[in-house]
Amino acid sequence: MWRFIAIRTLQAIPVIFVVITVTFFLVRAAPGGPFDDEKAVSAQVQAALEAQYRLDLPMHEQYFAYLGDLFRGDMGPSFNYPGRSVNELIFQGLPITAELGFYAMLVAVGIGVLAGVIASLRPNTAQDYVPMSLAMVGICMPSFLLGPLLVLVFGIWLDVVPVSGWGSTPGEKVLPSITLGAMYAAYIARLSRSGMLEVLSQDYLRTARAKGLPERVVIIKHALRAGLLPVISYLGPAFAGLLSGSFVVETVFQIPGLGRFYVQAAFNRDYTMILGTTTLLATLIVVFNLLSDFLAAWLNPRLRYQFQKGGK
């Protein structure tokens, strides 16, 4: 197991490095600088600004200087919000996005697994068709459509929840969490249904029933562990999806989180802000992919044997 963890972690480090490098040069390659929109400033002011943000140095020196700063945990000053550092802006948005992501994940896993398992217990009956059709609706209804529709119905017509904002009342968190989690709930429902169907027909479950265990114990203690493996492996990609989904949800519901910062930074050509958020988001995604791999390996010994003694 430790070997597996070590190999996977070592493989992940170059990925983060590649992301930082590609983003750095991609942003620099963009036509138009960050100060082009401003009213014509004198050459001196322009030079001072460029020196402040190290834009006067040759490209490779800028790059290594940035890597050095990043290594010390300093993402530099923001281009667009003078006097504020990227760290400051990110750590203002991150907790909000994390909270939203957490609730959305709860919605996705809770509803998804429940619906999938219920459907798998009586395949090809109404108990299967109803949740699975709902899952299909979830997959075909993107968050930027579902969100506004929920706002229209529950926020405006029925007027039962607030339509935007974050943090002043708990009711504000309901619609964004459902909107963000719905599509992943749908995928998880399909994954857990097919995973459970495969497991339910296996011999060891017949054995478990034969030795007189009640059906509830058979399902919860024996079938779920193997049947939900595909869901565990999906959690990493789902997390990445939630992060990019938060761009839309935070825009629709006007939530001041990281996703909205990112989209704004991209529009404003705020170099350091784009770099900082991309690095952070990429690292988070890579780390969560790793964690979901570890969890899957822990639950399914066959996966980690691949990495033992010579491996595959």
Q: Which residues bind another protein (CB under 8 A)?
A: 11-12, 14-15, 18-19, 22-23, 26-27, 29-31, 136-137, 139-142, 144-145, 148-149, 151-152, 156, 190-191, 193-195, 197-198, 230, 240, 243-244, 247-248, 251-252, 262-263, 266-267, 269, 274, 278, 281-282, 285-286, 289
| Closer residue to another protein (CB): 101 or 230 | 230
Cα 95 from Cα 258, distance rounded (Å) = 9
Q: 3-class SS at 77?
A: strand
Q: How far is CA 115 from CA 193, 196, 205, 224, 230, in A?
A: 8, 12, 21, 13, 15
Min separation Cβ 124 and another protein, Å: 12
| Closer residue to another protein (CB): 27 or 303 | 27
Q: Which residue has the tokens 């789902």?
A: 238
| Closer residue to another protein (CB): 139 or 303 | 139
34-62 CB burial, b ≥16 within 10 A, e <16: beeeeeeeeeeeeeebeeebebeeeeeeb
Min separation Cβ 277 and another protein, Å: 8
| Closer residue to another protein (CB): 177 or 233 | 233
Min separation Cβ 19 and another protein, Å: 6
Decide if 147 contacts 176 (C-beta within 8 A).
Answer: yes
| Closer residue to another protein (CB): 184 or 262 | 262
Min separation Cβ 233 and another protein, Å: 11
- Other Cβ atoms closer than 10 A to 75: 22
Cα 293 from Cα 8, distance rounded (Å) = 9
Min separation Cβ 213 and another protein, Å: 26
